[in-house]
Structure 1
């Protein structure tokens, strides 16, 4: 029996990969003459009430929905006997404030949504704070296994750092740029910023980051690349061409980008925060340890120095011939991991 799933929203590689012959994603399809958008919102569900032609509502980022809309959607889904699944990508808010984030999480728990957690640490926190209905399913790949791999021999040249994605407040782009540009030991490096086109709605929240980018844009080693919305292929290419993926999280509980670095053989340079170390442990000895830096102990005046120390270390490792893990065996592992993930999701979607 095929299970029909709507993802809220459905843009991410994480959502789009949860499909097989028994799991049908309704986003970007036409059902009964009605087009289902890629980025379905709970408001859209309430406006169209598609309860007869879906089985599961899979919520990923409830911070984009108002609490009254979330409550109404969960109530109507319950009345229609539809399963609600919530992947707790973040146990700390990366959009919005802590209080409203926690209110949404509590509401999901009260309405009996099934929580999917991506690491053991997150599952433990969710079970203790919000919901006993929490299961552990690892993140899995970001780039499909067929896309894994890069040039076997790196050409001589500057160490290439990459930052991509949102300029949201939990990612400290400003400190990276201010420190990196003026560190003479990093003169033989470049930074590629791959960004989504800003809009009036986002510019206020991202103003500090954009100001830092403008301050340093004249440096020829900084490539700022703004796209309408970077496609999966564009992001994969950027990661594949980078030596190091920078993950300057001020706070986070999980990082899909860390998984992406492993998929495509980039060296992660990451803040040791949240449950990111759990992600590395999950892969055991199949991957290299990231170059970590600590921004979690409150010694904020030391954070720039720690970042530069990590970037210098990564730069030296790349220039000394650092090599990623074997892409063929890792691709095979990711394929097997995905089969296990899909088996878990089939049970979850069936309501077990």
Structure 2
């Protein structure tokens, strides 16, 4: 069953729950209203990621986000932002005059909890407020949750304002830390011209599973086996499985012995179409997604998904697992899949429903652009309230 889109609230400061204390307002004293503020300079970690870029309206506003500093070792002219230089407390001390608000989204995987405490200390020392958007309550790249939990135990209590993407994530934040997060939806991922791109016509019913480099939260083989069996019973249905070659490379961190062997065997047996390739660039990714009727997310833990948002932009139906809060992001079909295992019957039912009903849940281009403008206003008002 599809779930409703995340709540959209009016622009106002994040209210504090009982016990919701992060210390005094950096800089002290009440800030000006959004209408009275001039340019607001934001040190955003990161700034160049598509999620952050689309928090600004197409014509710009009063918010100016500092460009991502080039990490040590990154080639000149590179758009690489990781590991984020701004997370260093020394960077904050040296560049405090260049920004008004610090906004952390993601990219702190390699930071120790003590390093994050040093960052918060530097921000307070320089009178700079911290906004933290909680994208991930669990880290999809880590089997062991302990490090990410320790990082969140520093960031969530220490931030001056919290944002997250879904009501369910906000409820968990309140339950775990006694903090209240403002719920703001994910902006569009596909560029505006792609929002009006016609979907291609084809005779098959194409279901895709992209294994990528088999990050920790993926368990694709049980999902693929069920899909192959189910689609074999549906006339015209085809299963396409994509992955990156790292999973077959013994020298790679992502090496997963046996996974590609099984997928190749299923390909040879005509049960699926396997495509092994390096990372798609953006245009190739949009071509891939719009060519699918259904994209199945083979995750067993996680929180939110930009992939799901791109599918919504392009009109590709998503079959999302029960873990995390994917079903609260956008309309999609669901199936049971979490750390305890796969509910095969629910996956079969979801795929059959997609095949029989052919849902049309594509984002309206005007709605997506209006939503982007609302998000920009919400962020600008939140920043202004902190200053």
- TM-score scaled by structure 1? 0.80
Are residues 1:193 and 2:235 paired? Answer: no
In structure 2, distance between residues paired with 1:342 and 1:201: 45
Answer yes or no: is the 8 Å Cα contact 1:177–1:212 preserved in 2: no
Change over 3 Å in CA distance of 1:144–1:42 after alignment to 2: closer
The aligned counterpart of 1:285 is none
> Higher relative contact order by CA 8 Å / sep ≥ 6: 1 or 2?
2
Aligned-residue offset at 1:163: 2.1
Answer yes or no: is the 8 Å Cα contact 2:69–2:81 preserved in 1: no
Residues 236-275 of structure 1 aligned to structure 2 (within 5 Å): 236-275=286-325
Are residues 1:120 and 2:159 paired? Answer: no
In structure 1, distance between residues paired with 2:133 and 2:348: 34
The aligned counterpart of 2:332 is 290
Answer yes or no: is the 8 Å Cα contact 1:258–1:268 preserved in 2: yes
The aligned counterpart of 1:226 is 277
In structure 2, distance between residues paired with 1:36 and 1:345: 28
Deviations 1:140-180 (A, max 9, x none): 22223431144356221252424265522222222233434
For this pair of structures, how many residues does the alignment match?
Answer: 330
Change over 3 Å in CA distance of 1:194–1:145 after alignment to 2: farther
- TM-score scaled by structure 2? 0.73
Change over 3 Å in CA distance of 1:42–1:194 after alignment to 2: same
Are residues 1:324 and 2:360 paired? Answer: yes
Are residues 1:307 and 2:347 paired? Answer: yes
Deviations 1:38-90 (A, max 9, x none): 41545555354322222333222333322222121221122112222211112
Backbone CA RMSD of aligned residues: 3.3
The aligned counterpart of 2:34 is none
Deviations 1:211-258 (A, max 9, x none): 31343135164342433x433333222211211111122122222222
Answer yes or no: is the 8 Å Cα contact 1:63–1:95 preserved in 2: no
Aligned-residue offset at 1:339: 1.1
The aligned counterpart of 1:348 is 382
Answer yes or no: is the 8 Å Cα contact 1:109–1:131 preserved in 2: no
Are residues 1:88 and 2:124 paired? Answer: no
Change over 3 Å in CA distance of 1:100–1:173 after alignment to 2: same
Structure 2: where are the runs of 5+ without partners?
1-37, 71-75
In structure 1, distance between residues paired with 2:52 and 2:246: 22
In structure 1, distance between residues paired with 2:339 and 2:344: 13
Aligned-residue offset at 1:4: 2.5
Change over 3 Å in CA distance of 1:138–1:166 after alignment to 2: farther
1:146 alignment partner, SS class: helix
Answer yes or no: is the 8 Å Cα contact 1:162–1:238 preserved in 2: no
Structure 1: where are the runs of 5+ without partners?
281-288
In structure 1, distance between residues paired with 2:248 and 2:158: 34
Change over 3 Å in CA distance of 1:195–1:54 after alignment to 2: farther
Q: 1:103 aligns with which of 150, 155, 160?
A: 150
Q: Which structure: greater helix fraction?
A: 1
1:245 alignment partner, SS class: strand
Q: 1:333 aligns with which of 346, 358, 367?
A: 367
Aligned-residue offset at 1:200: 8.6
Answer yes or no: is the 8 Å Cα contact 1:29–1:36 preserved in 2: no
The aligned counterpart of 2:114 is 68
In structure 1, distance between residues paired with 2:202 and 2:337: 33
Q: 1:207 aligns with which of 255, 258, 277?
A: 255
2:173 alignment partner, SS class: helix
Answer yes or no: is the 8 Å Cα contact 2:248–2:255 preserved in 1: no
Change over 3 Å in CA distance of 1:259–1:43 after alignment to 2: closer
Aligned-residue offset at 1:305: 4.3
Answer yes or no: is the 8 Å Cα contact 2:166–2:183 preserved in 1: yes
